[in-house]
Amino acid sequence: MRVTISFEVAPFLRWFKNYDRDKFLRDAIAGLTVAAVLVPQSMAYALLAGMPPIYGLYASFLPTILAAMFGSSRFLATGPVAMTALLSASVLYGFAEPGSEKWINLMGVLALMVGFIRLTIGLLKLGFVVELISTSVITGFVSAGALVIALSQTGHLLGFKITQSTLIYQVVVDIFSKIEKVNPYTVGIGILAYAIIWLSKKIHPLVPGALLSVIITSLLTYFFDLERFGVAIVGQVPQGIPMPSLPSADYSTIASLWGGAMVVAAFGLIEAVAIAKRLAVQSGDRWDANQELIGQGIANIVAGIFKGFPVGGSFSRSALNFQLNAKTPLASFITGSVVGITLIILAPAFYYLPKATLSAIVLSAVISLIKPQEIVKLYKINKVDGLVAGATFVSVFFMELWVALTLGTLIALGSFVYKTMYPRLVVLTRNPQSHTFVNAERERLPECPQILYIRPNMPIYFANAEYVYEYVLEKVRERKERGSLKFLLFDMEAVQYMDATGAYTLIRLFDELRRQKVEPAMANIACDVYPILERIGFERHIDTDLIFDSKGHSIVELFKRLDHEYCAKKCPYAVFRECYSVKPTEFKPVVAL
């Protein structure tokens, strides 16, 4: 693996080659339409992060613009995302009270940490690390996370305060204990807002249902003075763009946040990379995962400096950009600029916005993500993947979100390592009809009594080296009991990697074989593996004349060294073509076991 650092200063400039009026019109339409969705969504997602609604707009202004300018996708819409917002909140629970000054400050610190991690990964071109979180983990986590999000909004929809937690059982218990406090006016506003969004989608996907619900419910609250009936509203909203400031925290707090920051960074990267890749493939655009990570890193650093919280790529808003055929990142620049204008001019207009409306916006975005049936589908395809997804889903009921995601990832990686600890080792023989080498035990074909031919089917490393050692010696013991074993032919064709432990174990195996009067031989050593064996001096533990380039060559040379008298008088098989050269003329071989 080579690590290099590279940075394209202005990647957005390549989009403006041959830019014309038609392209600008497309960008303007896309930018304004996405802004109509982003403004209410960002305020709603701020509540998920435990932040006042206005901070969602802070996180949607410059971060949206800079992510587009320094990313590689013309479609990826960056800003507050439901799952990332809730995941960020789960990291901070226990450090401060949601919505407090300390919480807001720590959310800025977390955004800086997430941005630093993403930027570093992008600059070092290490984007492949996001693949460590498997699809099965994401499937279980997204379903459970969406359920947590839905439950977290229940309080705003029913009109009473519920416990701030990502532990599902705690929230459910708290909701039922306070169910008598339901405010019918708040419920009515929530249902109306959700209905407006739902009907808007039915009319046309481009109808800004979230914005319409904000306008209609705000007007109803104002004209009918619904605040007097207990309907919670956003209230006083500060006007203008916040001054940049560097959030700070003590050393012990920062040290405690690193684990959660890495999980938020990794999950957000998976979202952004997956969205950008999918849309780039569909449109035939050039796409660079590492450049995308640089853009995401810069966006989060700026979000931390301008009183925001961790942001990521939004699938719904990116899909909208794609549907409207945005031509360049200027579309997202326009989206972010509209948010900036909203902060400067329109912020006071959100005074009468009901919080129940914001919750309805969140619900409309995540309700379709609750898909436990996907876990069942995964289980039917591959039981291990299904179990990993199920374990991740269930763990969210009892753990913080970021811990559950980490646990799911560890289980997935652990299951993979466990499988590689017991690699498939195949005993080979030649098929007398096809004259190809096949699995002797599966095909129930005879093997040469004097040659044990084994092929490992995966890399040999510290976790499985001892298993390979014991397996081979057990096969040698069995063969020596049945016949006159002279050679072990170790086919390295499928061994494309070997670490020091694997190499030393192989040497130990060869020494033990020679002690038992069985000569080791090797074939098809990969060019990446040979230097490792050379450096530990494996030539001193094996006859170099018994190192071959191919299966055929190895059989020809080993056959010359066999006990041909044993072949002629005692061996009932003719495994190789060469066998007939030493057999009696009337010999009829046993061809199957």
pLDDT (tens digit per residue) in 491-525: 999 999 999 999 999 999 999 999 999 999 999 99
In 3D space, the residue among 570, 12, 11, 2 whose CA is nearest the CA of residue 329 turns out to be 12
Q: Is residue 101 a contact partner of residue 248, using CB atoms and an 8 Å limit?
A: no
Helix (H), strand (E) counts: the chain: 24, 8
pLDDT (tens digit per residue) in 23-38: 999 999 999 999 999 9
Q: Is residue 133 a contact partner of residue 389, using CB atoms and an 8 Å limit?
A: no
For residue 233, name the pLDDT band (cuts at 50, 70, 90). very high
For residue 9, name the pLDDT band (cuts at 50, 70, 90). low
Q: Is residue 409 a contact partner of residue 262, using CB atoms and an 8 Å limit?
A: no
For residue 7, name the pLDDT band (cuts at 50, 70, 90). low
pLDDT score, position 577: 87
**Alpha-carbon span 494 to 511, nearest angstrom:** 23
**Alpha-carbon span 464 to 466, nearest angstrom:** 6
Question: Hey, is 324 helix, strand or coil?
Answer: coil
pLDDT (tens digit per residue) in 76-102: 999 999 889 989 999 998 899 999 999
pLDDT score, position 1: 45
Tokens of residue 284, six digits:
């035939």
pLDDT score, position 8: 64
For residue 3, name the pLDDT band (cuts at 50, 70, 90). very low
Residues 6+ positions from 387 with CB-CB distance below 8 Å:
379, 415
In 3D space, the residue among 497, 421, 462, 402 whose CA is nearest the CA of residue 133 turns out to be 402
For residue 56, name the pLDDT band (cuts at 50, 70, 90). very high
What average pLDDT is seen over the chain? 90
pLDDT (tens digit per residue) in 178-208: 999 999 999 999 999 999 999 998 998 888 8
Give the Cβ contact number of residue 424 at 10 Å: 11
**Alpha-carbon span 490 to 121, nearest angstrom:** 40
Mean pLDDT of 337-365: 93
Q: Is the pLDDT of residue 461 over 90?
A: yes
pLDDT (tens digit per residue) in 392-435: 999 888 887 788 888 888 998 888 888 888 888 999 998 877 78
**Alpha-carbon span 84 to 79, nearest angstrom:** 10
* Cα–Cα distance list, 135 to 146, 156, 269 (Å): 16, 32, 14
For residue 220, name the pLDDT band (cuts at 50, 70, 90). very high
pLDDT score, position 108: 96
Nearest 5°: the CA angle 257, 258, 264 is 90
Mean pLDDT of 337-346: 95
**Alpha-carbon span 484 to 489, nearest angstrom:** 15
What is the DSSP pairing of strand 487-491 with strand 451-456?
parallel
Between 510 and 589, whose confidence is greater?
510
Q: Is the pLDDT of residue 565 over 50?
A: yes
Residues 6+ positions from 88 with CB-CB distance below 8 Å:
49, 107, 110, 111, 114, 264, 309, 310
pLDDT score, position 372: 87
pLDDT score, position 421: 87
For residue 6, name the pLDDT band (cuts at 50, 70, 90). low
pLDDT (tens digit per residue) in 128-146: 776 677 888 888 888 888 8
Percent of the chain at pLDDT > 90 equals 60
In 3D space, the residue among 93, 94, 92 whose CA is nearest the CA of residue 107 turns out to be 92
In 3D space, the residue among 468, 561, 480, 559 whose CA is nearest the CA of residue 515 turns out to be 480
